[in-house]
Amino acid sequence: MSDALTYRAAGVDIDAGNALVERIKPLVKRTSRPEVMGGLGGFGGLFNLGGKYQEPVLVSGTDGVGTKLKLAQQLGRHDTIGIDLVGMCVNDVLVQGAEPLFFLDYFATGKLDVDTAAAVVGGIARGCELAGCALIGGETAEMPDMYPPGEYDLAGFTVGAVEKSQLLSGDAIVAGDVVLGVASSGPHSNGYSLIRKILERAGNPLDLDLGGVKLVDALMAPTTIYVKPMLELLGAGSSRVPSPESRVPAIHGMAHITGGGLKENIIRVVPDGLGLALSASAIELPPVFDWLQREGKVAREEMWRTFNCGIGFTVILPHDAVIAASALLAKHGLASRVIGAVVNASGDERVHIG
């Protein structure tokens, strides 16, 4: 029958989806952990907590990569955007002291291009390796007419766990604690709607040299995944690692600097009655942020509430813990510096940068 319809004729290629699954199986296998049960292709991903935790608290997170995805598609750079996706999720659950256990992704497109999708999932798998979590499942949705040719959308989901007694709630934060800022790799995955406007106004000078790094590479640098260094830092400051020589005084709080920038993220973990006094002179803009501010004529306050400004993660801890914490982070290649302190505060204005 010449007028018979098929799913392929309607725009959905099941064979291409199956080919993608076969392509990504080796990538997924590299992220496996001993707790993973079963393989790729089941209706649900299986993960056995076993006896690792006495009183486990599960911490979940979900996110995307914003309009950095648009830039990745325009440039044809699909191999690192998956690292961004993982980073935005696992860095969030890390804030509460949780170890990310597993990750799932959602990839949606109008017409599935196996090479593009495999590159994206390859980045996701790499991100999971960096975070130490298992990629145990996902969904590839081919939806004709939903997306323009060549475009796709991404979402990520992670679940972590932490002992109830070691949950970071921010309740331990007190006036006099300091804020240790940990370096970012660039804008990470925030503020890209503004970044793309600035690029457009500047004539898209993507090959512009910023101190030995092209502007395009600075903007597309994948989100730093802080999981392993921060878990080691937490372990060194708790019963997770009993070794006295590696002991760091207790960590009181953490914050992932995402949408809302320095102005709105750190305060989220600080108890009522306390505020933050951050030093503007300690927030030195890396070249990519300096260029964005100058080219876009972006006000300083707008920079602080839009971008991470070179600080991708913060740790709130006693002053006498800074040297040990900074040394441990440096061992992992992460630069850090004190950018402010916790102070007593009243009223609505709890964050001062000056």
Q: Is residue 2 part of a domain?
A: no
Which CATH number characterizes residue 123's domain? 3.30.1330.10
- Domain final residue, candidates 118, 143, 166: 166
pTM of the model: 0.93
Strand-pair category, 152-163 with 56-63: antiparallel
Query: Hey, CA dihedral for 129, 225, 337, 324, is it positive or negative?
Result: negative
Q: Is residue 27 part of a domain?
A: yes
Residues 185, 260, single domain; the answer is yes
Q: Write down the pLDDT at residue 242.
A: 40
Residues 335, 214, single domain; the answer is yes
Residues 119, 196, single domain; the answer is no
Q: Which two tokens stand for residue 221?
A: 């640098």
Cα 35 from chain centroid?
23
Residues 339, 219, single domain; the answer is yes
DSSP string, 101-135: EEEEEEEEESS--HHHHHHHHHHHHHHHHHHT-EE
Q: Is residue 8 part of a domain?
A: no
Q: Give the CA count within 13 Å in the CB-facing half-sphere of 145.
A: 2
CA-CA distance, 26 to 15, in Å (whole number)? 19
- Domain final residue, candidates 122, 140, 166: 166
Q: Is residue 187 part of a domain?
A: yes
**Tens of pLDDT, residue by residue, the chain (354 residues):** 457 888 788 888 888 888 888 888 888 889 999 999 887 777 888 999 888 889 999 999 999 999 999 999 999 999 999 999 999 999 999 999 999 999 999 999 999 999 999 999 999 999 999 999 999 999 999 999 999 998 999 999 999 999 999 999 999 999 999 999 999 999 999 999 999 999 999 999 999 999 999 999 999 999 999 999 999 999 865 544 444 444 455 899 999 999 999 999 999 999 999 999 999 999 999 999 999 999 999 999 999 999 999 999 999 999 999 999 999 999 999 999 999 999 998 778 899 999
Q: Is residue 329 part of a domain?
A: yes
Give the number of domains in the chain.
2
Q: Cβ contacts of residue 217 below 8 Å, gap of 6+?
A: none
Task: Characterize 122-135 residue by residue with b for buried, 16 or more Cβ atoms within 10 angstroms of its Cβ, and e for exposed.
Answer: bbbbbbbbbbbbbb
CA-CA distance, 7 to 5, in Å (whole number)? 7
Edge to edge, the sheet with strand 152-163 lists: 56-63, 152-163, 99-109, 134-142
Q: What is the domain range of residue 38?
A: 14-166
Q: Write down the pLDDT at residue 40.
A: 75
- Domain final residue, candidates 166, 197, 229: 166
CA-CA distance, 211 to 44, in Å (whole number)? 47
Q: Is residue 7 part of a domain?
A: no
Which CATH number characterizes residue 256's domain? 3.90.650.10
Q: Write down the pLDDT at residue 12.
A: 83
Is 213:287 a contact under the CB 8 Å cutoff?
yes
Residues 243, 319, single domain; the answer is yes
Is 62:156 a contact under the CB 8 Å cutoff?
yes
